[in-house]
Amino acid sequence: MAAAPERTSPARVVVLVSGSGTNLQALLDAVAEGGAAYGAEVVAVGADRDGIEGLRRAERAGVPTFVCRVRDFATRAEWDAALAGAVAAHRPDLVVSAGFMKIVGTAFLAAFGDRTINTHPALLPSFPGAHGVRDALAHGVRVTGCTVHFMDAGVDSGPIIAQEAVAIREADDEAALHERIKDVERRLLVDVVGRLARDGYRIEGRKVHIP
Ligand code: GRF
């Protein structure tokens, strides 16, 4: 069982991104608008690549950034350890993988596995992996959605914290459906991060308890 410690100051959140960073922006906006009442602050943003809008969003908000690229390391394990070190330098209470398109390894999970959450654009355990929106459309499901969950060693397989459904429309293509899912996903992520930060949580097996 893992449990979050009680705290009196805002939870320190490190956000990991690989792309446009609209989920990150939603968190930055929630922190800016909610102030201390939101219960969390974004202390750093990390990425696995340069030149992405996610990093620019962090810079505009005055949040420190770091980049940890797989190709700069001899092995994936070294990259994983370096990523864990870069995150650890910011002493996070929570790590948020918000469109971070890398699978982390044992060093990262040993350090942060019980406090790293991921957002995924499908109703897990259906359609894990990098193409959750496309795979749901191709399967012909009528309802998909998004899932916020704790990270574990598998692909989008950790304990589920929150989910919300999105109906698929006849005219949907991948881009249109993903945009509608992301509208819901941003709201859900902001809500989950705030609740985890303010109220704490316990993970028992596959169950996440937020008091
Ligand atoms: C989100 O739908 C996330 O679940 C998926 O990639 C998207 C990232 O969007 N893995 P953004 O970079 O936050 O705009």
pLDDT in tens, 116-152: 999 999 999 999 999 999 999 999 999 999 999 999 9
- Percent with pLDDT over 70 in the chain: 97
Cis upstream peptide for 125 (omega within 30°):
yes
Mind spelling out the 3-state secondary structure of 84-148? HHHHHCCCCCEEEECCCCCCCCHHHHHHHHHHEEEEECCCCCCCCCCCHHHHHHHHCCCEEEEEE
What is the pLDDT confidence band of residue 7, given thresholds at 50, 70 and 90?
low
**Residues 66-95 as b or e (16 or more Cβ within 10 Å = b):** bebeeeeeeeeeebbbbbbebbeebebbbb
Residues linked to residue 87 through DSSP beta bridges, in sequence order = none
Neighbours of 115 (CB within 10 A): 22
Query: Max alpha carbon distance in the chain (Å)?
Result: 49
**Spatial separation of the C-alpha atoms in residues 117 and 160, rounded to whole Å:** 9
Q: Is the pLDDT of residue 3 over 80?
A: no
Q: Exposure pattern of 171-195 as b/e (b: 16+ CB <10 Å)?
A: ebeeeebbebbbebbbebbbebbbb
Position 124 scores a pLDDT of 98
The finding on whether 186 has its CB within 6 A of some atom of ligand 1 is: no
Classify 40 in phi/psi space as left (phi over 0), alpha (psi -120 to 50) or beta. Answer: beta
On average, the pLDDT of the chain sits at 96
CA of 8 to the centre of ligand 1 (A): 31
**Between the CA of residue 98 and those of 7, 42, 72, 146, 198, what are the distances in Å?**
24, 13, 22, 12, 20
pLDDT band at 35, cuts 50/70/90? confident
- Among the options 90, 120, 149, 209, which is catalytic? 120
pLDDT tens readout for residues 42-93: 999 999 999 999 999 999 999 999 999 999 999 999 999 999 999 999 999 9
3-state secondary structure of 169: coil
The Cα 137–Cα 15 span in angstroms is 28
Task: Say if CB 92 and CB 19 are below 8 A apart.
Answer: no
Question: Is the Cβ atom of 25 under 6 angstroms away from ligand 1?
Answer: no
Query: Which of 27, 185, 192 for mutating ligand 1's site (highest number of atoms within 8 Å of CB)?
Result: 185
Tell me the C-alpha distance between 132 and 124, whole Å: 9
Q: Give residue 4's pLDDT band: very low, low, confident or very high (50, 70, 90).
A: low
Structure confidence at residue 6 (pLDDT): 62
